[in-house]
Structure 1
Amino acid sequence: MTAKLVVTAIGLLLLALVSIVLTLWVTWNMQGGAAAVNEAGRLRMQTYRLALILHTSGNGAEARLLARGFDESVALLRQGDPSRPLFVPWSEESRARFAQVGTRWEALRGRWLDEHPDPDLVAESAGFVALVDGFVAAIETQISRWTAVLQMFQLALVGLAVASAMAAFYSGYVFVLQPLARLKKGLAAVQAGDLGTRVEVDSGDEFGELAAGFNAMTGTLQSLYGELEGKVREKTQRLERERQRLADLYEISAFVADAPTLDALARGFAAHLRRIGRADASAVRLCAPDPGRFVLVAHECLPQEIAAAGACIERGDCYCGEVTAHGHTRVIPILDGGRPTLGHCGRAGFSAMVSVPIRVHDRLLGEVNLFYRHPVELSHEDRELLDALASHLASGLESQRAAALEREAAVAEERGLLARELHDSIAQALLFMKIQVGLVRQAAQRGDHAAVERGIAELETGVRDCYADVRELLLHFRTRTSAEDIEPALRTTLQKFEHQTGLPAQLRMEGHGVPLAPDVQVQVLHIVQEALSNVRKHAHARHVELRVCSAPHWTFEVHDDGAGFDPQRPGSDATHVGLRIMQERALRIGARVRVHSAPGAGCTVTLDLPATGPAAAPAPLAEALAR
């Protein structure tokens, strides 16, 4: 483009310079011709003056002066004067006319400068002037020609200017505007999102290079955009897979946490894993007590004959059950004619199986099997997902096991509590009655009827007390608490006490504290019931009051207006047994039992709970009881 512009500009400049030079040259010739016309006019004037001088005075000196001026004018016309400028625009006619003038002057000059010029020479001056006029006319003719040439040059300059303007406009349109319009159209298309737009390259100039650069740019953008779309699509798919994995993990976590039983856990996990792994069937196998066996505990879409035949398999008998504690998730192709196996999966149409170990802390709990009727490949992310799901199942199995152990421990603890209750109350009563039966037998053998009657009365009293203890135990174990408030349970306990004894019992609540935990409420109720039992057995009271204060910490006081006793002096075994039972229960919840009593002044049993809730016993139970 630069070369074109330079060539065009140089061409136009050369044309303008040539035109200007030609115009100046023509103008210079015309100026010289005009000066020559003036000088030739002087010849004519000098001829008239010379003729006039010769005719009037015949002054030879003045005539010679005029002749010398005439000679100078002729010489000037012949030679010219560039400094003026002055020169004759010579042509054949002007040269002929000038030659005639010169020849005629040479002929007349000598005669006119003679001392006695011929009077007829004056008359000949008119003919000489006519020759000079012819010479002037020839010069003017040539000047007219130059004037016509100058006009032609001027018209040519006008035409050149018009043509140059048109050429400039056309060149600008062809070489500048059209390429710019194509580039603008291409930019608009790119702005609209069409990165496949290309601009036609029809020249090798700057606009051609610009168009080529634009095409290269759009090609690069299209490539980058295509790669970007692919990357965005790939990233979106990856994020969607990650989101789905997280959703699957959350779903399995929630399911495992809410599974009520081991069977529900195994069955639900098999169904979820078959859907997540997009398998045709799934199975969950757990290690049997015999480490070489695997038991099928749940399956999903597995044919019934396979489930029945593979309910329990030995390690190494088939592809199932080959997992180890340090194994990893693997894909096992089911090939007919391979190493010896049970062959149930192959006959059912399965062609591949995925084995996922269930382990926790390097301890193998079992495996999960996914069955496929087509070949399958697992990516690293798929293996990680399956391992994570299997770890959730392992955690769920451990939770189920821990819950079972906890329930077993709770049953054992309840049985121990029942045994202690029976030992501390009914067993002692039965021992007392056994002793009384022996005494009655001995009295009967001696014939001591009074002793027999006393023994039978003691037995009736023991049976009645034992029956009361049984009813009291039933009352203890049937008592239910509220997770929010212990007051209803306390009122129910006092109502049953009133019904059994006929004594009025009053409950007084004070303060608004933090509710007690359910397990603490149970122990508190048992301690209160034990205190009421002692009142029923030993106090001979007329009124009982239960005062409860919940702030700043929970305290429970059972007060009666009975006979009372001296806590420092040994009393009945039943009384001490009841107090020991209450102290044992209080130690379980980190509480403390205090007894205030005096003979004839009633008794007050106070249970103090720690201000921040139940704490661990400061010492083992045996040591605390020993002190």
Structure 2
Amino acid sequence: MFHAQTTSLSSKLVRIGVALLVVALTSIGLTLWVTWQLEGGAASVNEAGRMRMQTWRMASEIQAGIAEDQRMARIAEFDQNLSLLEQGDPSRPLFVPWDPVVRSRFAAVQALWRAQRVGWVSGAAAQPDAILPSTHALVEAIDALVSAIEQQLAKLTAVLNLFQFVMMVLAIFAAVVMLYTGYLYVINPLSQLQKGLRRVEEGDFQARIEVDSKDEFGLVAQGFNGMAARLQDMVDGLEAQVHTKTQHIEAQRARIETLYDFSAFLAGVNSIEEMSRGFSQRLRTVMGADAVTVRWSDEANQRYLMLASDCFPQDLLAEERSLLAGTCACGSLLQEARTRVIPIQSAQAAPMRHCVKAGYESLVSVPIRLQSRLIGEIDLFYRKTVELSKDEAVLLDTLASHLASALEGLRASALEREAAVSEERALLARELHDSIAQSLAFLKIQVQLLRSAADKAQGPQMRVALDELDVGLKESIGDVRELLVHFRTRTNTDDIEAALQETLQKFRHQTGLLTELVVNGTGLPLPSDVQIQVLHVVQEALSNVRKHAHATSVALVVEKGQFWSFTVQDNGAGFAPDAALGSQHVGLHIMHERAQAIGASVRVSSQPGQGACVELRLPEHPVTTSAALAL
């Protein structure tokens, strides 16, 4: 905050200005006074000159015999002029520059006029021999007064000239003083401040201005120095922050790169052993550990199995391949345990004796959790004392979480494949049971009838049984071929039309029936897994046509759009839809099951003698179950 001081710049400038102003006002006042005196003195000289003329005029008029009233008017006028000189007239201005000489000369004029006035009034002075001497005497007295006044005016004029010269000298002096003062107190400090600002603009925050006064510029210089010091501190702080932030960003980049590398590795491995081994190798390199082990826990967290290790001593590897929980610092995690550093201090402590024997000094234990369940741990061994930073602990927890997710993904994939194989086998068994098994049961019955007819030597019955056996074997062979076609069906294209065309071509080659494919509309391509289910339903419908329809032609109509539909139309014998649910038409059950797997529906319409129509209608967004995906 600014405080007024006697040494402030404003005080200095005010003092100098006041001094110069006083001198200037004094000079101006004296000049005006002298000028006033000169003007008044000049007017008095003029007035005295009039009195001299008046004297000669009165003498002339009196000699000429002027009337008495005119003579008295001239005398009164002279009296008035003499009184004006004595008293002065400020309005003109008019006043006599009195001094002792001028005062004595004026007194002489007054005395002489008073002495002569009586004669002028009475007219006695009108005699020629008397008026001229008196007039000459009065005029000489007036001349002496004028000369005295002029001498006094000459002195005043000299004083005025002196004042003007002094005023010129004072003006020059004031200009020099103002220039010097401006340079000393304004220009030089501003120049120093400008130089300091230029250095700051160039990035030199160590620039300082020398403070040699306590005026306003001194305060500005102090403020500038303080500002430069604060800027220097801020720059140093910013550089430190930038350096720290750069290190932090670099550490984050390294962590992200590490996470990406681990994620890419975990995503491309298909076995638990390879995944665990590669993970331990990479983790040891990233963390700079001397050895790494990955242990997997059983469901009860009572025993830990070593999945993989890297640079772990072979003798310890054999001893700790299967480790009971609590027998060592490794494998003793609780459910709420976190990543921690365990110092290995004494060879006498049982949980640590193996690690001490191997020369390890620190153990970093990282729990492996899947959601909230503890499923294993990662152990990092160091032959030195280590401390984990917060970022390193977070990185280890994240990597452990990635490993848990990848291992669980492998396990889930294995379970999914196992479930898919089981479902595939169940479906194959159901297909065999619904088709070939029934045909074989029928053939078994015919064989029994044939044996019975042979025992009884019934020739016609034997031929009938043999014919039935021949027909049944042909149907079984056809069912087997059809199953092979069904389970080899795959599609890898976005357009199902080519797969449908191939299916009809195989059907035509197998049965000799006329086939036609009609595709209408446009729509988004179906997913590959949905296409497989659609092909199986279409193949099942064509299989029913082959087995039961006795048709000569089949048409497959595909309607593309928001809702896809596939219609198999034949010109066969047809059937009653209610009777189609019997054991002879088990294919309808299979079609309904496949349609349900993708959220679709199957509608069958037929009349005896008018053929049959099977329509598969898909939802707007068809999906597949895990079982359907396996097919």
Q: CA deviation at 1:510?
A: 1.1
1:537-548 aligned within 5 A: 544-548=552-556
Aligned counterpart, 2:517: 509
User: Partners in 2 of 1:566 and 1:90 — Cα distance?
Assistant: 162
1:139-538 aligned within 5 A: 147-228=157-238, 230-231=240-241, 256=266, 259-267=269-277, 269-270=279-280, 273=283, 282-288=292-298, 291-299=301-309, 309-337=319-347, 339-341=349-351, 343=353, 345=355, 350-372=360-382, 374-428=384-438, 431=441, 448=457, 457=466, 461=470, 464=473, 468=477, 471-472=480-481, 475-476=484-485, 478-484=487-493, 485=496, 486-491=499-504, 493-494=506-507, 498=510, 503-512=511-520, 515=526, 517-521=530-534, 523-524=536-537, 527-528=540-541, 530-531=543-544, 534=547
Q: CA deviation at 1:509?
A: 0.7
Corresponding residue SS for 1:482: coil
1:2-151 aligned within 5 A: 2-23=10-31, 147-151=157-161
Equivalent residue letter for 1:311: R
Structure 2 gaps, min length 5: 1-8, 58-80, 117-123, 626-631
Deviations 1:398-422 (A, max 9, x none): 3322222221111112222233344
Indicate if the aligned counterparts of 1:483 and 1:518 stay in contact, CA closer than 8 A. no
Indicate if the aligned counterparts of 1:433 and 1:462 stay in contact, CA closer than 8 A. no
Indicate if the aligned counterparts of 2:605 and 2:614 stay in contact, CA closer than 8 A. no
Deviations 1:184-241 (A, max 9, x none): 3444444444444333332222222233233333444444455455556655665665
Structure 1 gaps, min length 5: 50-72, 110-114, 618-627
Q: CA deviation at 1:74?
A: 13
Gap change, CA 1:608 and 1:157, over 3 Å in 2 = same
Aligned counterpart, 2:618: 611
Gap change, CA 1:256 and 1:138, over 3 Å in 2 = same
Gap change, CA 1:272 and 1:506, over 3 Å in 2 = farther
Equivalent residue letter for 1:479: R
Aligned counterpart, 1:583: 589
Gap change, CA 1:400 and 1:616, over 3 Å in 2 = closer
Q: CA deviation at 1:7?
A: 0.9
Q: CA deviation at 1:576?
A: 5.7
User: Partners in 1 of 2:460 and 2:83 — Cα distance?
Assistant: 201
Corresponding residue SS for 2:367: strand
Gap change, CA 1:389 and 1:605, over 3 Å in 2 = farther
User: Partners in 1 of 2:428 and 2:41 — Cα distance?
Assistant: 155
User: Partners in 2 of 1:259 and 1:74 — Cα distance?
Assistant: 139
Indicate if the aligned counterparts of 2:513 and 2:552 stay in contact, CA closer than 8 A. yes
Q: CA deviation at 1:607?
A: 3.4
Higher mean C-alpha displacement, 411-420 vs 236-245: 236-245
Supply the RMSD in Å over aligned alpha carbons: 5.9
Equivalent residue letter for 1:556: V
Equivalent residue letter for 1:201: V
Identity percentage over the alignment? 36
Indicate if the aligned counterparts of 1:284 and 1:298 stay in contact, CA closer than 8 A. yes
Is 1:592 matched with 2:602? yes
Q: Decide which of 567, 579, 588 is 1:555's aligned counterpart.
A: 567
Equivalent residue letter for 1:403: S
Deviations 1:389-445 (A, max 9, x none): 43333333333222222211111122222333444455455556666666777778x
Equivalent residue letter for 1:553: S
Q: CA deviation at 1:8?
A: 0.7
Deviations 1:550-599 (A, max 9, x none): 116112246658xx8888889xxxx965521442343232343748575x
Q: TM-score, length-normalised on structure 2?
A: 0.69
User: Partners in 1 of 2:11 and 2:420 — Cα distance?
Assistant: 103
Aligned counterpart, 1:61: none
Indicate if the aligned counterparts of 1:286 and 1:297 stay in contact, CA closer than 8 A. yes
Gap change, CA 1:208 and 1:279, over 3 Å in 2 = same
Q: CA deviation at 1:267?
A: 4.4
Deviations 1:47-83 (A, max 9, x none): 999xxxxxxxxxxxxxxxxxxxxxxx99999x99898
Q: CA deviation at 1:320?
A: 2.5
Equivalent residue letter for 1:546: V
Gap change, CA 1:26 and 1:522, over 3 Å in 2 = closer
User: Partners in 2 of 1:455 and 1:346 — Cα distance?
Assistant: 89
Indicate if the aligned counterparts of 2:446 and 2:469 stay in contact, CA closer than 8 A. no
Q: CA deviation at 1:159?
A: 0.9
Deviations 1:2-24 (A, max 9, x none): 11111111111222234345545
Equivalent residue letter for 2:489: R
Deviations 1:351-382 (A, max 9, x none): 44433322234222222334455544444454
Deviations 1:293-312 (A, max 9, x none): 22232445656665555433
Corresponding residue SS for 2:503: helix
User: Partners in 2 of 1:366 and 1:241 — Cα distance?
Assistant: 27
Gap change, CA 1:81 and 1:463, over 3 Å in 2 = closer
User: Partners in 2 of 1:406 and 1:290 — Cα distance?
Assistant: 24
Aligned counterpart, 1:112: none
**How many residues get paired?**
589
Gap change, CA 1:385 and 1:452, over 3 Å in 2 = same
User: Partners in 1 of 2:623 and 2:456 — Cα distance?
Assistant: 60
Q: TM-score, length-normalised on structure 1?
A: 0.69
